[in-house]
């Protein structure tokens, strides 16, 4: 049976007819919506920011974690557990030296986001140089390892029991945001052939249901001489992402979706011009987290909607409360002093509630929720 939302557009009281624009003077807007930013929505008009709380009790609160304070580990399976649920697992991995063993994730596709440094990645499919700003999608079951000359920091995003796909780009077409031709892939080049010739004993550490099994070979199993097909690792750098823009309307984060999985999406914020229409808001609008837990990893630049946030931090805005720009950013809601944003960030919208890992709890800015109504700074 087909179905549709109960839908009856209404304008009641003092309100603008166009969302995110032409607000009554001295007021702010709050969005209540279904299915993230894809379903029906209503926009409340308030005389005060809906983040003006004076006290907070209970576990449901905005949280922030400084991953830059976490140390290195030898393997992605020893990386720091940050946030997870049954369909998604994020880990923070600082790799200070080349991996001595191969790894294989049997739990789901793995998305590597390189935050700092560079490395040589070797996998079943060949060799790929990776550097800061790269997304690298590794299909479930891929054997891989990296070689580093200096420390490299990565955010690992596992699609547990699932896979990654590209978003439906709808009316703007398949070549919007990034052309699929921009996706690089590993090559069976001289570097791959040289490592394949490395003799001796090789171990493969396989993760399945968060348990590790080790398989030992008397040779290097990364020894393919050719392949063909449509399942393969891909890489794209944030500098190659061309954001959708509107000079008259502040687009929701869903417009910047980069990868889609079964119960979450990955979006990318990159520099873009600010809206120029005088009536259009020019900061993220206040909104209820009604269906998703929102996670943002701050990669580089000036994070214009947040105070006291630096690269390498992660924020978690769980389902069930209103959030939006900090007071400093809200002061520039209609007039910006610059022509464009200057930020790179990775956003994850998770449909199911996320649990905070013990490692993340150890580097938490405990009073982050107070930063909307005070000059609170991270400890």
Helices (H), the chain: 190-196, 327-330, 358-361
DSSP per-residue codes, 269-310: E---BPP-STTB--SPPEEE-SS-EEEEEEEEEE-TT-SS--
Q: Which residues lie closer than 8 Å to 240 by C-beta, 6 or more apart?
A: 178, 182
Q: What are phi and psi of 192, to 5 degrees?
A: -65, -45
- Nearest Cα to Cα of residue 162 among 184, 129, 140: 140
- Nearest Cα to Cα of residue 41 among 4, 3, 7: 7
- Nearest Cα to Cα of residue 250 among 31, 24, 10: 31
d(CA 86, CA 315): 20
- Nearest Cα to Cα of residue 128 among 172, 217, 61, 188: 188
Using DSSP, state whether 222 is helix, strand or coil: coil
How far, in Å, are 50, 94, 244 from residue 312 at the CA level?
28, 11, 25
293 is in an annotated binding site: yes
DSSP per-residue codes, 14-36: S--SSTTBSPPTT-EEEEEESTT
* Contact between residue 107 and residue 84 where contact means Cβ atoms under 8 Å apart: no
Alpha carbon 97 to its chain centroid, in Å, reads: 25
* Contact between residue 324 and residue 49 where contact means Cβ atoms under 8 Å apart: yes
For tokens 């791959």, name the residue.
192
Active site residue 115: no
As to burial, measured by CB atoms within 10 angstroms (0-12 exposed, 13-18 middle, 19+ buried), residue 315 is buried
Q: Which of 250, 256, 299, 326 is catalytic?
A: 250
Please, what is the Cα angle at 180 between 176 and 185, to 5 degrees?
150
**Active site (catalytic) residues:** 250
Q: Which residues are annotated as a binding site for Fe cation?
A: 287, 293, 323
């Amino acid at each position: 049976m087909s179905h549709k939302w109960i839908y009856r557009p209404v304008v009641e009281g003092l309100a603008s007819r166009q969302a995110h624009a032409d607000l009554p003077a001295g007021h702010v807007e709050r969005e209540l919506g279904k299915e993230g930013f894809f379903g029906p929505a209503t926009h409340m008009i308030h005389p005060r920011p809906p983040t003006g709380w004076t006290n907070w009790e209970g576990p449901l609160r905005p949280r922030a974690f400084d991953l830059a304070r976490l140390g290195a580990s030898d393997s992605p399976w020893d990386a720091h557990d940050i946030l997870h649920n049954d369909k998604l697992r994020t880990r923070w991995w600082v790799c200070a030296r080349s991996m001595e063993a191969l790894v294989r994730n049997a739990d789901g596709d793995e998305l590597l986001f390189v935050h700092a440094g560079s490395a040589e990645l070797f996998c079943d499919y060949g060799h790929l140089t990776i550097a800061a700003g790269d997304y690298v999608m590794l299909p479930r079951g891929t054997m891989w390892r990296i070689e580093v000359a200096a420390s490299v920091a990565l955010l690992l995003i596992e699609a547990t029991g699932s896979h990654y796909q590209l978003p439906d780009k709808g009316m703007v077409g398949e070549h919007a945001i990034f052309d699929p031709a921009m996706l690089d892939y590993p090559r069976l080049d001289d570097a791959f052939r040289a490592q394949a010739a490395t003799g001796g004993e090789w171990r493969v550490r396989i993760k399945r249901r968060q348990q590790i099994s080790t398989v030992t070979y008397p040779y290097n199993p990364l020894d393919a001489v050719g392949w063909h097909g449509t399942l393969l690792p891909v890489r794209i750098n944030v500098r190659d992402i061309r954001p959708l823009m509107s000079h008259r309307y502040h687009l929701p984060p869903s417009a910047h979706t980069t990868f889609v999985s079964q119960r979450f999406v990955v979006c990318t914020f990159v520099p873009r011009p600010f809206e120029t229409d005088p009536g259009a808001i020019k900061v993220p609008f206040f909104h209820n987290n009604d269906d998703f837990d929102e996670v943002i990893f701050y990669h580089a630049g000036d994070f214009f909607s947040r105070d006291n946030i630096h690269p390498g931090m992660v924020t978690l805005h769980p389902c069930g409360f209103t959030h939006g720009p900090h007071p400093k950013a809200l002061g520039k809601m209609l007039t910006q002093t610059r022509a464009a944003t200057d930020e790179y960030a990775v956003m994850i919208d998770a449909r199911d509630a996320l649990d905070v890992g013990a490692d993340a709890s150890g580097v938490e800015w405990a009073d982050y929720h107070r930063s909307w109504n005070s000059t609170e700074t991270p400890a």
